[in-house]
Chain A
Amino acid sequence: MTVFAHLVTPAAWLIFVGLTLPVTFTDNYLEYLTPGIMVMSVLFASLQSGSLVIFDKILGFLNKFFAMPSPRESYLFGKILFITFRGLVQATVIFGVAVLFGITVYGVKSILLTYIVLFIFGALFASIATTIALVVDDHDGYAAINAMISMPLFFTSTALMPYDKMPGWLRTVASVNPVSHAIDSARVLLSGGDIPVSEILMLAAGATIVLAICTSVFRRATL
């Protein structure tokens, strides 16, 4: 039930905006939008899941786990992996809807490569969400931060329009937004283009750095 509820927003975006918004720069807005909406579902899923850590702490699971001989970081990495995976599942449903509405699929390889990008992106934002949750430590505070950053992150990216159609100020912000980079890579890959190596490496580097920060915040917040 919760899974379905989380899918409605991205699906609604895809269908109602992709099929109806009168856009002049492309004929197939649905196809232009799809990578953006896939990334959006991973983004929102990751950001919302930060509260999972807060729940575990409040409910006492963390304490029980820490009294076990397993390495403590395994909890963190498992959590991030789960959040990322859940985001990917949601992205898959969105992709399915898009295919249903007639976007062109450029072969299995393009899809697999897109998923690699989504995975790295998901891990990046799952780590960000978890770090924030570990620091903020309560549900209200975390929900407030989540509400504050998710929409702006989405709108200041290339989800809705390409760089050359953006006003100058938006273009500057969008070019440093990791969401844009993920969407750009996904868009290239989904339409069968060459692998954007530098973009992917940048995302991977970002994910590794945030993961390291997250691990250190985790260690300090839980001993």
Chain B
Amino acid sequence: MIEINNLTKYFGDLCAVDHVYLHVKNEVFGLLGPNGAGKSTIVRILATLQRPTEGTARICGHDVVKDPKKVRSVISYVPQEMALDIKLTGRENVLLYAKLYGIPDRARKVDEVLDLMELSERSGDLVKTYSGGMRRRLELAQALVHEPEVLFLDEPTLGLDVAARKKIWRHISSLREDGISIFMTTHYMEEADEYCDTVAIIDHGKIVALDTPERLKSSLKQDVITINATGTFGGLDLDSVTFSRGDNGELRFLADHGESVLPEISQALLRQGMTIQSMMVRKPTLDDVFMDRVTTSEEDSAFDGYKFRTMLRRR
């Protein structure tokens, strides 16, 4: 349903999207990556809000550059900032979108999507009184009112509490059952792990991982050992252990049998004169795949003031 071929976007000299190839079917597709990696740019190009410098993208067969109007009639875009009219009721907000999309039999459709998002009882209240989770669900209702085939969600669960997040995901999963493709970006690895059919990790504009969460995690194959230690790390010369990365006193190693190798590692570090504060062994998660493939350290990634304020904001 979404075909991305050689998609490239330059902002001046900066290459935000670097010759990306992606193919998304009827599934929940998650795009993960550090800030500034190019996620939002890709979503904006697909939602026809920006033009690529090179390459093509087709959504349900329509080209985003040559046929943007057709593309817009089959997609819905929900950006991270919650843009709702808080002085209107929930129903009025959805009705506005129904009018803008020119839907026949508006009232019935509005009721239908509100019911789907479990907002029917509160639909007559002003959005000002809605919680964050409800507002997100309302935005989903707006997005669904014209029956799109592809839904673009930029950080759908950002800033929501656990219960609200679970609820949103329940809804998103049920949408996939209805045949809608969902293309989303997120920072919450556990959610991507649990709910996405396919996950892509993007770093510096390039896709560095693309597979199901299961296969990505098993690609790491090994247990992850995290050791917090001070001192200078001089490298390890143990057979079954590979050093993954070291950030700010936290060293990560990959090993086949983490528990058995742990004492050897700690001895080696102590011999190098390091002081160990804590050690941990666990099975790989999507977080680890991310840390393994992504080279942008937290310090280098662009601070997204917008995102920060969005997480903190309750208008």
Q: Name A's B-contacting residues (CB within 8 A).
A: 59-61, 63-70, 223
CB B59 to nearest CB in A, in angstroms, measures: 12
Which one of A59, A60, A61, A64 has the greatest number of beta carbons of chain B within 10 Å?
Answer: A64
A24 to B47 CA separation, bound complex (whole angstroms): 65
A63 to B81 CA separation, bound complex (whole angstroms): 10
Question: CB-defined interface of B75-109 with A at 8 Å, one 1/0 digit per residue?
Answer: 11111111100000000000001001100000000
Given A60-B79, A60-B82, A64-B79, 6 further pairs, Cβ under 8 A: A63-B44, A63-B83, A67-B75, A68-B100, A68-B101, A69-B73
CB A178 to nearest CB in B, in angstroms, measures: 33
Determine if B73 and A67 form an interchain contact, defined as CB atoms under 8 angstroms apart: no
Residues of A contacting B44 with CB < 8 Å? 63
Q: Name B's A-contacting residues (CB within 8 A).
A: 44, 47-51, 69, 72-73, 75-83, 97, 100-101, 152
CB B304 to nearest CB in A, in angstroms, measures: 14
Residues of A contacting B152 with CB < 8 Å? 67
A68 to B79 CA separation, bound complex (whole angstroms): 13
CB A211 to nearest CB in B, in angstroms, measures: 22
| Contacts A/B (CB < 8 Å), 25 sampled | A59-B81, A60-B79, A60-B80, A60-B81, A60-B83, A61-B83, A63-B49, A63-B77, A63-B79, A64-B77, A64-B78, A64-B79, A65-B100, A66-B49, A67-B47, A67-B72, A67-B75, A67-B77, A68-B97, A68-B101, A69-B69, A69-B72, A69-B101, A70-B100, A223-B51
Q: Which residue of A lies closest to B51 (CB)?
A: A223
Residues of A contacting B79 with CB < 8 Å? 60, 63-64
Residues of A contacting B83 with CB < 8 Å? 59-61, 63-64
CB A150 to nearest CB in B, in angstroms, measures: 27
A68 to B78 CA separation, bound complex (whole angstroms): 11
Known: A59-B83, A60-B83, A61-B83. A67 touches B49 (CB 8 A): yes
Residues of B contacting A68 with CB < 8 Å? 72, 97, 100-101
A50 to B195 CA separation, bound complex (whole angstroms): 43
Residues of B contacting A66 with CB < 8 Å? 48-49
A24 to B220 CA separation, bound complex (whole angstroms): 92
A61 to B80 CA separation, bound complex (whole angstroms): 11
Q: Which residue of A lies closest to B68 (CB)?
A: A69
A64 to B100 CA separation, bound complex (whole angstroms): 11
A69 to B47 CA separation, bound complex (whole angstroms): 11
Give the 3 A-B residue pairs with the shortest CB-CB distance, closest first. A60-B81, A67-B77, A60-B83
Which one of A59, A68, A223 has the greatest number of beta carbons of chain B within 10 Å?
Answer: A68
CB A43 to nearest CB in B, in angstroms, measures: 26
Q: Which residue of A lies closest to B50 (CB)?
A: A223
Q: Which residue of B lies closest to A74 (CB)?
A: B100
CB B57 to nearest CB in A, in angstroms, measures: 14
Determine if A67 and B81 form an interchain contact, defined as CB atoms under 8 angstroms apart: no
Residues of A contacting B78 with CB < 8 Å? 64
Residues of A contacting B82 with CB < 8 Å? 60
Residues of B contacting A69 with CB < 8 Å? 69, 72-73, 101
A66 to B80 CA separation, bound complex (whole angstroms): 15
Determine if B76 and A67 form an interchain contact, defined as CB atoms under 8 angstroms apart: yes
Determine if A67 and B48 form an interchain contact, defined as CB atoms under 8 angstroms apart: yes
CB B222 to nearest CB in A, in angstroms, measures: 42
A60 to B154 CA separation, bound complex (whole angstroms): 12
Q: Which residue of B lies closest to A56 (CB)?
A: B83
A70 to B83 CA separation, bound complex (whole angstroms): 18
A69 to B71 CA separation, bound complex (whole angstroms): 8
A65 to B48 CA separation, bound complex (whole angstroms): 11
Q: Which residue of A lies closest to B81 (CB)?
A: A60
